[in-house]
A and B are shown apart, each in its own frame.
Chain A
Amino acid sequence: MKNSVESRAPVINTFLSLLAFMWLFPFLFVVFNSLKSGQEYNLGNFWDLPTTFSIVENYEYLATKIDLLSGFMNSLVYGLVAAFLAIAFSVLAAYAISTLNIRGRLFWFLLIYSGTIFPFQMYLIPTFRFYSFTGIYDTKFGLIIFYIAICMPFCLFVLRNFFYTLPKELVEAAKMDGAKDLTILRKIYVPMAKAPIAALFLFQFTWVWNDLLFGMTLSKSEETRPIMASLSMLGGAGNNIPAVLLAAFIASIPTLVIFMVLSKSFEKGFIISTK
């Protein structure tokens, strides 16, 4: 689809540039203001350019207030493992629901999908009780399985719809050659689903990385708490906003790195051959 550089290209690029500016605008606003010192920001006009360059100062303020490293490794592990396993489980389930011979496809789908329609806050009390009861409260294992579960519905939805569109001739041909279901999934479906899987990995990692509510409720010790919990210790109402923003940028680095790494996978369209 990229080959057609049409005569309308300038129009499209102008349109995109305008919208892109709108999207970047809050960032520019934030970047300018996060260069200011806490008091300069608070007292001055938000629309004045910074007169100081206070990144170091702000960073030092952060260092005295919170430990950004604590939670960083935890969240990295939670994000990578939960995203990976949630996708793995969803691939299996999506394959079964879209292709294999099972009864009640819609039922099974809705059973797993129900996780996404139920308001998140309502999970807190039953899950907390369940965790306390089984002793997995405040453990890494506990957080990981919760994150796997909560990430599954969306993955299942995307993968099921994707598998569903794949031409079934491929499967039939493979079956003729005597391939087993699992082999077909591994050799044909998963490689074809590379782009959606990459996108899902990004989304789910980001979701887990940014989660505060569950991470904070289901853990209490520093060894278990995720990064957003330590970040949020910067305080409530009264704040040094530039420092908070700086912390937010530092904390967003892993999600941005994963985005950059996976970004190419979204563009490479998989050419489906029906021959």
Chain B
Amino acid sequence: MKKILLGSIITSLLVLFTACSGENEKSSGSGNETVDFFSDKVDDEAAYSEISELINEDIGVELNFVGYSDTTAFQTAVQQSLGQENSPGMFTWWSGYRMEDIAKSGNIEDLTSEWEEYYIPAGVNPDLAEAFKVDGKIYGAPATVLYNGIYYNQEIFEKYNLEVPKTFDEFLALCETLKSEDITPIGMQDAGWASFLWFQQLIAAYNPELYTSLVNGEISYQDEQVVEVMEIWQSMLDNGYFAEPVDHMTRAKQFSNGDVAMTYESTRFTKNLEEDFGLEAEKDYSRFILPSMESSQKPVIFYETSPIAISSASSEKDNAIKILREYYGEEQQQAYADQMGIGFLEGVELGNETNQNITEKANSDDHLSMIRYYEATPATIVDAATTSLWEFVYDPSTSSIENTLKTIQAESEKAFSN
């Protein structure tokens, strides 16, 4: 006891001493100029330290990645420091309503001219800017783009002589075959938000325009087209095509060892499958896009993209703008792709065939790419929709379709009325 107490007193004095001297060290700096980059995607750290080296060689500015594994901590640190000189030069953010909130406060840089002069010439798809637009101005630059699709276990497909479906009916037949072989066709993630994934994809397969009008509040959720889509989903649930919803890692395990044959996921999933489960692209797993219900329509690839924003008041602002101009350089994007296996610029080798395929498809004319539901429609609707869609998934019936759509429509009317 006494030793500990004594030790504590000594250390406490030492700390106060070092804490004070630590301050001085920081202000004197290490010679090189650095820009803090706050991010909630801690897995990206290695990729960004390489990018930082590359950029540093070119323009002599370093990128200091500060990871936040806790969303609350991240959000508080960013939001509450905005408007102050010591706020981070760059930070990742969310598109949609959160982007809107901070853009409207006037605390982040309008990057519209940067897009025209630097990002688009570097090969960034101008359509991506849609996700970061607030009142006609673009407030973010894409950190990366993730494309959603249906992963399938190739071993199972080969074993039962199954082929990638070309029509929606073929897809349903495929599910039926798997079911009859005692394999659950589709694995599902139980996260609170995850119920919109199949909703958006089925709506878009029914009619891409229906999706667009729905998220823009131009058509009612109680419209008979939506009801029809829900009924299709209901019959799929009733037929046992969907596995019981489970946590992310369990689902990855189900998919890897063949307990489920397919699952709906983004391009980030490949890293998980390769590193943690030792699967190989185009050998153990591959991916297809859900075919449209009408052969005349193009299938839809949903994407999500998180923006990098620049804090206007930050003392590092000018350097941050310079860094973003360099960020879309081929080497830099290649470095990101090498680490993460994902990318979105043409010419970047992803090192993962499955991801390469979908990225090419998304950039081609045979497919439509659309922003996923979570970012495409106001947050209050998303919140109500994800909750009540889960209610439907757990208890699919005609009356629950009715209730679910009624709940979402009520929120939609509220959100679009003002």
Note whether A and B contact each other (Cβ less than 8 A): yes
Q: Is A42 an interface residue (CB 8 A)?
A: yes
- Given the complex, which residues of A lie within 8 Å of B216, measured CB to CB? none
- A233/B69 in contact, CB under 8 A: yes
A232, B69: Cβ atoms closer than 8 Å: yes
Residues of A within 8 Å of B11, CB to CB, are: 76-77, 80-81
Query: Are A84 and B42 in contact, with the CB atoms below 8 A?
Result: no
Beta-carbon contacts under 8 Å, B22-49 to A:
22-23, 26, 36, 38, 41-43, 45
A238 touches B69 (CB 8 A): no
Residue numbers in A under 8 Å from B19 (CB-CB): 139-141, 144
B275 in contact (CB, < 8 A): yes
Interchain CB contact under 8 A, A125 and B76:
yes
Cα-based distance from A233 to B66 in the complex (angstroms)? 10
Residue A237 at the chain B interface, CB threshold 8 Å: yes
Q: Which residues does chain B contribute within 8 Å of A212, judged by CB atoms?
A: 69-70, 73
Give A120 to B269 CA distance when docked, in angstroms: 33
Contact with B along A96-111 (1 / 0, CB 8 A): 0000000000000000
User: Is A213 interfacial (CB 8 A cutoff)?
Assistant: yes
| A42-B22 contact in complex given A81-B8, A81-B11, C-beta closer than 8 Å | no
A183 within 8 A of partner (CB): no
Interface residue A39 (Cβ < 8 Å from any Cβ of B): yes
A139 and B22 contacting across the interface, CB-CB below 8 Å:
yes
Complex contact A238–B248 (CB within 8 A): yes
Q: Which of A191-248 contact B (CB under 8 A)?
A: 194, 197-198, 201, 212-213, 216-217, 220-221, 223-224, 229, 232-241
Kindly state whether residue A151 has any CB partner on chain B within 8 Å.
no
- Contact in complex: B86, A137 (CB < 8 Å): yes
Q: Once the chains bind, are A238 and B276 in contact (CB under 8 Å)? A: yes
A103 → B minimal CB distance (Å): 32
A121 within 8 A of B: yes
Which B79-100 residues have C-beta < 8 A from chain A? 80-81, 84, 86, 88
> A217 touching B22 by the CB < 8 A rule?
no
A124 to B75, CA, bound (A): 10
Chain A interface, number of residues (Cβ within 8 angstroms):
49
Residues of A within 8 Å of B271, CB to CB, are 238
* Given A84-B5, A124-B72, A235 and B43 contact (CB-CB distance below 8 Å): yes
Any chain A CB within 8 A of the CB of B277? yes
Q: How far apart are the CA atoms of A2 and B221 in the complex, in Å? A: 70
Nearest chain A CB to B62's CB is how many angstroms away? 14
Please state if B70 and A216 are interface contacts (CB–CB under 8 Å). Answer: yes
**Is A42's CB under 8 angstroms from B38's CB?**
no
Q: Which of B1, B41, B45 has the most CB of A within 10 A?
A: B1
Q: Which residues of A contact B12 (CB under 8 A)?
A: 80-81, 84-85
Chain B residues whose C-beta falls within 8 Å of the C-beta of A221 in the assembled complex: 26, 66
CA distance A226 to B396 in the complex (A): 47
Q: Which residue of A lies closest to B23 (CB)?
A: A139
Q: Is the CB–CB distance between A128 and B249 below 8 Å?
A: no
Pick the interface stretch among B251-259, B294-302, B384-392. Answer: B251-259
Binary flags per residue of A37-48, CB closer than 8 Å to B gives 1, else 0: 011001100000
B276:A201 contact, CB within 8 angstroms? no
Interface pair A223/B84, CB less than 8 Å apart: no
Determine if A43 and B4 form an interchain contact, defined as CB atoms under 8 angstroms apart: no
A139 to B86, CA, bound (A): 14
CA distance in complex: A236, B271 (Å):
13
Residues of B within 8 A of A125 (CB): 76, 80
A216-B68, A238-B249 as given contacts; A39 in contact with B278, CB under 8 Å: yes
Closest beta carbon of chain B to A49's beta carbon, Å: 18
The 0/1 profile, CB within 8 Å of A marked 1, for residues 261-286 of chain B is 00000000101100111100000000
Is A232 in contact with B77, judged by CB distance below 8 angstroms? no
Q: Does B18 contact A (CB under 8 A)?
A: yes
Which residues of chain B come closer than 8 Å to A224, judged between CB atoms? Answer: 22
A128 close to B80 (CB less than 8 A): yes
Residues in B whose Cβ lies below 8 Å from that of A128? 76-77, 80-81
0/1 string, A53-81, CB within 8 A of B gives 1: 00000000000000000000000110011
Are A84 and B22 in contact (CB-based, < 8 A)? no
Chain B residues with CB under 8 Å of A239's CB are 249, 276
A216 / chain B contacts, CB cutoff of 8 Å? 68-70, 73, 77
Given A141-B15, A144-B19, A237-B248, 20 other A-B residues pairs in contact with their CB atoms under 8 A: A38-B276, A81-B11, A125-B76, A128-B77, A132-B84, A139-B23, A140-B15, A140-B19, A141-B19, A197-B1, A212-B73, A213-B72, A216-B69, A216-B77, A220-B77, A237-B249, A238-B249, A238-B272, A240-B275, A240-B276
19 inter-chain pairs at a CB distance below 8 angstroms, sorted by A residue, are A42-B276, A43-B257, A80-B7, A80-B11, A85-B12, A124-B73, A128-B80, A139-B19, A212-B70, A213-B70, A220-B66, A220-B88, A221-B66, A233-B67, A235-B43, A237-B248, A238-B272, A238-B276, A262-B4
Q: Which 8 A-B pairs have the closest CB atoms?
A: A238-B272, A84-B8, A232-B69, A140-B19, A216-B73, A217-B73, A81-B12, A39-B278
